[in-house]
Structure 1
């Protein structure tokens, strides 16, 4: 038992977890099969861990739509910060998410964001010309998550 105070919105969200449903541009809905790591121990996860795990799923599904010359990146809203090619991701309990990567010019970039301000726009960027294969960060992150929880 904890003394955490939850808003009614947080209580409703917790009661609905874990479910996912998306409707694509074709109008057909899809309900995702959630990885084991997302279905277990929800009541013990911080807001940061829970956001991190769900973002992995979104990135992985986004990467499935990319061709062999594209990689996942994220665009920033509300400013001129530009685009970050996603090369890594993490969280810091209880409430911080971080993205590691590079900008289009190759400069090292890191975004640290509070989960209450989380807003991620996934974008496709051309892979680096010197790479044989595109970097599939979603697959790598999901694999690491399964290894640490299962």
Structure 2
């Protein structure tokens, strides 16, 4: 059963289930929310959103994030971290290939996931959401 404190509605009745409509994976549900810092809980849920977004991409696209309320552009997500109790960090590169890092307080968290063409020379798209989910299972 999905978390009762999460909800989602879609105009398309055949839309894939979103993270709010799915049960929490065992590694995420193992530790009660009350025992998690704001950054740890945000980190875990972002992983679920990114993995779900990637599941809907074709082989020509990979996930990136747009910066809400900023002219900083788009960052190809290559890593995510958190520093308890309240900091999230996004690692990646912008669309020109320039190394990029965003350090953000959880109270300012606004992430827009975007599908961008995979980088030139990459044989397959890189799927960070699946790597992050595997890491959650190992921890």
In the aligned structure 2, how far is the partner of 1:20 from the partner of 1:127?
A: 32
Alignment TM-score, normalising by the size of structure 2: 0.88
Q: Are residue 23 (structure 1) and residue 5 (structure 2) matched?
A: no
Q: Secondary structure at the match of 1:134?
A: coil
In the aligned structure 1, how far is the partner of 2:5 from the partner of 2:52?
A: 15
Q: Match of 1:108?
A: 99
Q: CA RMSD, aligned part only?
A: 1.6
In the aligned structure 2, how far is the partner of 1:28 from the partner of 1:39?
A: 27
Judged with a 3 Å threshold, the aligned counterparts in structure 2 of structure 1 residues 117 and 52 are, in CA distance, closer, same or farther, namely same
How far did 1:83 drift? Answer: 0.3
How far did 1:55 drift? Answer: 0.1
Correspondence list, 1:6-17, <5 A? none
Question: Any gaps of 5 or more consecutive residues in structure 1?
Answer: 1-16
Q: Encode CA deviations 1:46-94: one digit per residue, 9 max, x unaligned.
A: 0000000000000000001110010100001212100000000000000
How far did 1:19 drift? Answer: 4.7
8 Å contact 2:48–2:129 — kept in the other structure? yes
8 Å contact 2:28–2:136 — kept in the other structure? no
8 Å contact 2:76–2:95 — kept in the other structure? yes
Alignment TM-score, normalising by the size of structure 1: 0.82
Q: Match of 2:26?
A: 36
In the aligned structure 2, how far is the partner of 1:33 from the partner of 1:59?
A: 16
Q: Secondary structure at the match of 1:73?
A: strand
Q: Are residue 74 (structure 1) and residue 75 (structure 2) matched?
A: no
Q: Match of 2:79?
A: 88
Q: Match of 2:117?
A: 126
Judged with a 3 Å threshold, the aligned counterparts in structure 2 of structure 1 residues 18 and 142 are, in CA distance, closer, same or farther, namely farther
Structure number with bigger Rg: 1
8 Å contact 1:21–1:32 — kept in the other structure? no
